[in-house]
Amino acid sequence: MLKTEELRRDHRLLLQLSYPSPDPDYSARVVRALEELGVEALELENPERLRLLGKGFRNIVLVGFKAGVRVALKIRRLDYAVKSTFREAYMLEQANRIGVGPTLLGHSDPVLVMSLVEGIDLTKWLLHTNPPSHAARQTLLEITYQCHRLDRAGIDHRELSDASKHVIVTQGGPVIIDFGSAGFSSRPKNLTSLINYISSKELERVRRDLGLGEVGRQTLRRYKEKYSKEDFEALLSEMNLL
């Protein structure tokens, strides 16, 4: 663990805040945001490296401490044009209102703080941890409900067709992460994307083991007209998830 104020004095670690290239000015800007957000310390992988949880094409995600609690710190990459996390924080906040996503804990300039989601990405969990079939079905059902709530709220995540990157299975259930591409839409495609993912070749064995059924185009089309509870339940029943 390294206190945020000590980070300013350790140049090697400080420069790791600026990815992919070490820019002192950008690192300083990130530290200012961390201080403003009340991030007391960062977690280390080893004495020379900050703990990196993940990397996307827009951000790196580190582990920090805020009010004594371990949190996820999403930090804009230097090579991503949009440095502000304002819009993403706003979309995550909207998702939080319907019980979706990691909890937003704060945001400032290029940093967004949220609850740490500890678990295994969905594809790996389904294919390699041999979950009991009732647990696998329960997890898929829970994600479909979350997608349905997003659809009804008019929030389109936009990156769920490859759900493996953006759904993490935790002890407490699946969590949809990364609202960086999310936006409002009158025709959100969360559940549609998830169904495409479940129908993919990669998950053929899982579908067979769980006895999942195929969704008819007609049922999906009807669902996308009104996103009604009845049409949603018709989808679940065709998928054989109920």
Ligand X SMILES: Nc1ncnc2c1ncn2[C@@H]1O[C@H](COP(=O)(O)OP(=O)(O)O)[C@@H](O)[C@H]1O
Q: Does residue 56 belong to the site contacting Mg ion (CB under 5 A)? A: yes
CA 210, 163, 145 angle in degrees (round to 5)?
65
Per the listing, tokens 């989808």 go with: 235
d(CA 227, CA 163) in angstroms, rounded, equals 20
Among residues 174 and 241, whose Cβ is nearest to Mg ion?
174
Q: Does residue 83 belong to the site contacting ligand X (CB under 6 A)? A: no
Q: Does residue 88 belong to the site contacting Mg ion (CB under 5 A)? A: no
Interface pick for ligand X out of 13, 16, 58, 108 (rule CB under 6 A) = 58
Task: Establish whether the linkage from the previous residue to 47 is cis, with ω within 30° of 0.
Answer: no
| Interface stretch with ligand X, choices 30-38, 113-121, 182-190, 206-214 (CB under 6 A) | 113-121
Coarse DSSP helix, strand, coil percentages of the chain, rounded to the nearest 5 percent: 45, 25, 35
Q: Does residue 238 belong to the site contacting Mg ion (CB under 5 A)? A: no
Q: Does residue 61 belong to the site contacting ligand X (CB under 6 A)? A: yes
123: left (phi over 0), alpha (psi -120 to 50) or beta: alpha
Site map for ligand X, 118-157, x if CB under 6 A? ----------------------------------------
Residue nearest to ligand X (CB): 56
Which residues are at the interface with Mg ion (CB under 5 A)?
A: 56, 178
Which residues are at the interface with ligand X (CB under 6 A)?
A: 53-59, 61, 72, 74, 102, 114, 116-117, 165, 177-178, 180
